[in-house]
Structure 1
Amino acid sequence: MKANISDEKIYSELIESAKKVGIIAEREAVEADENATVSKNVVDAIVEGGLNRLIIPKEYGYPQIDFRTFTDIVRTVGYHNLSAAWLTYFYGLHNSWVAFLPKHRMDEIYEDGGLLADIFAPVGKLEKVEGGFILNGKWNFVSGINYSEWVSVGADYLEEGAERPDRLGLCMRVSDLEVIENWNPLGLRGSGSNTVVAKNLFVPDDMVISFNEMMINRKPYKLEIDEDYLYYNVSFFPAFFVGFPAMSIGAAERVIEEFIARTKKRVRFDGTNEGESAKSQRVAAEMTLKLKAARGLMNEYLEMLESDEGQYSLAEYNGIRVQIVKYCLEIANRAVSTLGASALAKGQPIEIMTRDLMAISTHVTSLYEDGIDSYGKALFGIQPMTMG
């Protein structure tokens, strides 16, 4: 049984904090696009609202939330700005892998109070030495690294005698790495997802987590904190990826609202008001029904997490996620193609959110063809290659 937030006052305060983050980010959206990062104003709002401290074990004294509250927070920010939602999600979420480190390392990182980033693509090169590893590598797309104190990066390690490599996460201070500011994408520009480089860096064994172990045991082999921690006893990666569809739904909600508001004001060359047109009314209805379908799938995903005892396939989680993101991107594309060229004006919500939803859809966990392929295989009893 997962923790559920019962204090309505705390819930309301968290949602208000999420709105504040989103409103600041929306106000600064054009500047964030130009700078390829949100400003310190946005990050300060995340920290001041405590949104970065929500996925921390209860013994450290922070409010305990459930997956629904977490996704409501992310969705609320996403309604205003997806780059800010991306970082709000990640800065809170990344505390989850710290809970798989030994207790003294949890104390060090949680009590330090710094923001966390990660990139788990297993591209690092490892050499085993006494007491740890020598790490070399270069990782792109490290979201939020500009404001982070800690980061975890990925590498595969084949232990002598093992049949397959273990995927590891190696944790360190950002100051131990070189940060290359090279983020220049089409969408999610404000996420500041720059590159980090490690050169002959020693990482001690007690700052290393095994993803193979996390997926098999569903909690640390040596349990040192509360048994009912949100990210224990659940399929870790489906829980880890829960924010991507949530923020996409928030953006789709905003796109539909913007579409209806703009359509009501739109006057065609012949003098007719487009809000009275059956064409645009039908488009609005179809987009709204697609949003309802996305919300329904999101609810099913959360119900699966809340009852997860290992009975659900990772491919099913993956299939639901990619379908939600696809629906939301389709809503944005439909809004643009119906409103016409004015919807492409730089800096207005539909234009920004369409680009950002496109970027979310290209994330490795949101690739539609991959996710549907994996789910289809699973339905026919074939074990697909998916992390969840």
Structure 2
Amino acid sequence: MLVETGPTTRTTGTTATTPAHAELVARAASLRDDLRNNAAEADRERRLTDRAVAAVTGSGLMRLMTPKRHGGHGAEVRTLLEVAATLGEGCCSAAWTTGVLNVGNYVVSLFPEQAQREVWGTDPDARTALVLGRPNPGVEETEGGVYITGKWPYVSGCLHADRVGALVLRPGGEGRPSAPYFALMPMADVTVEDTWHIVGMRGTGSNTVVADRLFVPEHRLLPYQPVLRGETDGVVDPANRYRNSLVGIFSIGLLGSLLGGARAAFDLVQEKAGSRPVAGSTYKSQAESPSLQLDLATAASKIDTAWLLATRIAETTEQFAAAGENADTLTRSRARMDSTRAAQLCREAVDLLVTAHGSASFAEVNPLQRIWRDVHVGSRHAGFGMGIPEQLYGRALVGGDPREISLLV
């Protein structure tokens, strides 16, 4: 049962042993039912409940990508995927937020050690929101760092984060061109504009973060393009096993929520099929109808295929990390394509399921309508949409450079 402990409740200190993959997934499963019970409130209030955030954090599930030396789990990418998917079976918004905050912590692990100590020195459960939107140009160079002024919309998890990592465009000078940087900013030093009035993923509270001439010291600024290219030697800790896999980890942090939502929708429709009538027919229940059976089979196949694509991203990331090598652009482009197709398949599966279940799917008391809204919004995240992933993969397949289209590969 989720316990009301307030938004600042944390599990602090380090443990003697790091939890194994199975244990972390089991912890997520133990929260599933209570997250489901909190999901309607999160949707209504447009933010996760403090109970849900405290429970996920207290279970150590915000430490997945935090380095072990700072009290985190340094977990595998597949653990992030399975934890997020399991949480998503209870609440898509909770899973999405957990995924984003863990990916944000991963990005912090790429910063200089001084910045990492500032984040996790006294609190290994510290949470970092992350936004990869267009770099903000409001940067003024000064001694020891920069002053930043700007706005970043769609910052999932900002209502429950300690820090936020956002992209800024650092001006050039003395022969060097302008370049994007990650800027790591304490949430206490920025403001949040209430702009997240969206029909789905409402509980993520993906509002707009605003900085007003905020000083950011040099050690909290990280060049963006070298991280994307895996050219991190001498920039970040070389022991970070996923330092060359930002795009893969980012997509996994989002896909888990969609997979979990699709699974939850499938389970609801399958469970009710034996007791729901088929209007205008002689079938005693939906379960007897060949149409419902075909829809369930097709939806199950779509969800299974989405899972296989997502796990291929995770496994590929693991393989290159273990070898200490960078993936080539074709492999990276394929990962963008895989994540896009997985998101589409989740959406298609949920569409099939709500149609098969009938108009009752859209009753306000039915969780199916919330899952339908969440998956439709989440699957249209910019990382999955606008036709860019298909262009990247197609360009790579004919031997071209996909980075001419987008750096996010």
Q: Is residue 312 of structure 2 the alignment partner of residue 296 of structure 1? A: no
1:373 Cα deviation after fit: 2.3
Q: Is residue 366 of structure 2 the alignment partner of residue 348 of structure 1? A: yes
- SS for the counterpart of 2:273 is helix
CA distance in 2, matches of 1:86, 1:203: 28
Question: Per-residue CA shift, 1:54-98, capped at 9, x if unaligned?
Answer: 212222233332111121111110111110001111222211111
Instruction: Report the TM-score, using the length of structure 2 for normalisation.
Output: 0.87
1:220 Cα deviation after fit: 4.9
Which shows bigger deviation, 362-371 or 29-38?
362-371
Q: Is contact 2:95–2:256 with CA below 8 Å preserved after alignment? A: no
Q: Which residue of 1 aligns with 2:381?
A: 363
1:100 Cα deviation after fit: 2.0
Q: Is residue 111 of structure 2 the alignment partner of residue 93 of structure 1? A: no
Identity %: 25
1:252 Cα deviation after fit: 1.6
CA distance in 1, matches of 2:362, 2:293: 21
Q: Which residue of 1 aligns with 2:352?
A: 334
Q: Is residue 247 of structure 2 the alignment partner of residue 231 of structure 1? A: no
The structure-2 alpha-carbon separation of the partners of 1:9 and 1:57, relative to structure 1 and needing over 3 Å to count, comes to: closer
Q: Which residue of 2 aligns with 1:305?
A: 317
1:341 Cα deviation after fit: 1.0
Q: Is contact 2:99–2:256 with CA below 8 Å preserved after alignment? A: no
Instruction: Report the TM-score, using the length of structure 1 for normalisation.
Output: 0.91
Query: Which amino acid counterpart does residue 195 of structure 1 have in structure 2?
Result: T
- SS for the counterpart of 2:368 is helix
1:239 Cα deviation after fit: 2.2
Q: Is contact 2:169–2:178 with CA below 8 Å preserved after alignment? A: yes
Structure 1 residues without counterparts, runs of 5 or longer: 1-6
Matches within 5 A, 1:259-338: 259-269=269-279, 270-272=281-283, 273-308=285-320, 309-313=325-329, 314-338=332-356
Q: Which residue of 1 aligns with 2:13?
A: none
CA distance in 2, matches of 1:36, 1:358: 17
CA distance in 1, matches of 2:74, 2:248: 19
Query: Which amino acid counterpart does residue 328 of structure 2 have in structure 1?
Result: Y
Q: Which residue of 2 aligns with 1:4?
A: none
1:146 Cα deviation after fit: 1.5
Structure 2 residues without counterparts, runs of 5 or longer: 1-16
CA distance in 1, matches of 2:235, 2:227: 12
CA distance in 1, matches of 2:137, 2:37: 38
CA distance in 2, matches of 1:162, 1:187: 46
Q: Is contact 1:116–1:148 with CA below 8 Å preserved after alignment? A: yes
Question: Per-residue CA shift, 1:242-262, capped at 9, x if unaligned?
Answer: 222232222222222212122
CA distance in 1, matches of 2:100, 2:172: 31
1:195 Cα deviation after fit: 1.3
Which shows bigger deviation, 254-263 or 45-54?
254-263
CA distance in 2, matches of 1:74, 1:124: 33
Query: Which amino acid counterpart does residue 156 of structure 1 have in structure 2?
Result: L
Q: Which residue of 2 aligns with 1:42?
A: 52
Query: Which amino acid counterpart does residue 360 of structure 2 have in structure 1?
Result: S
- SS for the counterpart of 1:382 is coil
The structure-2 alpha-carbon separation of the partners of 1:348 and 1:228, relative to structure 1 and needing over 3 Å to count, comes to: farther
Q: Which residue of 1 aligns with 2:224?
A: 211
1:304 Cα deviation after fit: 1.5
Q: Which residue of 2 aligns with 1:116?
A: 128
Q: Is contact 1:17–1:45 with CA below 8 Å preserved after alignment? A: no
Q: Is contact 2:183–2:222 with CA below 8 Å preserved after alignment? A: yes
1:367 Cα deviation after fit: 0.9
CA distance in 2, matches of 1:64, 1:104: 19
Question: Per-residue CA shift, 1:311-370, capped at 9, x if unaligned?
Answer: 332321110000000000000011112222111112423211111111112211111622
The structure-2 alpha-carbon separation of the partners of 1:241 and 1:349, relative to structure 1 and needing over 3 Å to count, comes to: same
Q: Which residue of 1 aligns with 2:207?
A: 194
Q: Is residue 399 of structure 2 the alignment partner of residue 381 of structure 1? A: yes
Q: Is contact 1:218–1:235 with CA below 8 Å preserved after alignment? A: no
Q: Is contact 1:343–1:351 with CA below 8 Å preserved after alignment? A: yes
CA distance in 1, matches of 2:372, 2:394: 28
Query: Which amino acid counterpart does residue 250 of structure 1 have in structure 2?
Result: G
Q: Is contact 1:126–1:135 with CA below 8 Å preserved after alignment? A: yes
CA distance in 1, matches of 2:262, 2:235: 42
**What root-mean-square deviation, in Å, do the aligned CA atoms of Structure 1 and Structure 2 show?**
2.1
The structure-2 alpha-carbon separation of the partners of 1:55 and 1:190, relative to structure 1 and needing over 3 Å to count, comes to: same
The structure-2 alpha-carbon separation of the partners of 1:217 and 1:99, relative to structure 1 and needing over 3 Å to count, comes to: same
Q: Is contact 2:230–2:245 with CA below 8 Å preserved after alignment? A: no
Q: Is contact 2:18–2:73 with CA below 8 Å preserved after alignment? A: no
The structure-2 alpha-carbon separation of the partners of 1:211 and 1:184, relative to structure 1 and needing over 3 Å to count, comes to: same
The structure-2 alpha-carbon separation of the partners of 1:228 and 1:81, relative to structure 1 and needing over 3 Å to count, comes to: same
Aligned length: 379
- SS for the counterpart of 1:230 is coil
User: Pick from 55, 69, 81: which aligns with 2:79?
Assistant: 69
User: Pick from 150, 163, 178: which aligns with 1:137?
Assistant: 150
1:240 Cα deviation after fit: 2.5
Q: Is contact 1:119–1:152 with CA below 8 Å preserved after alignment? A: yes
User: Pick from 41, 60, 65: which aligns with 1:55?
Assistant: 65
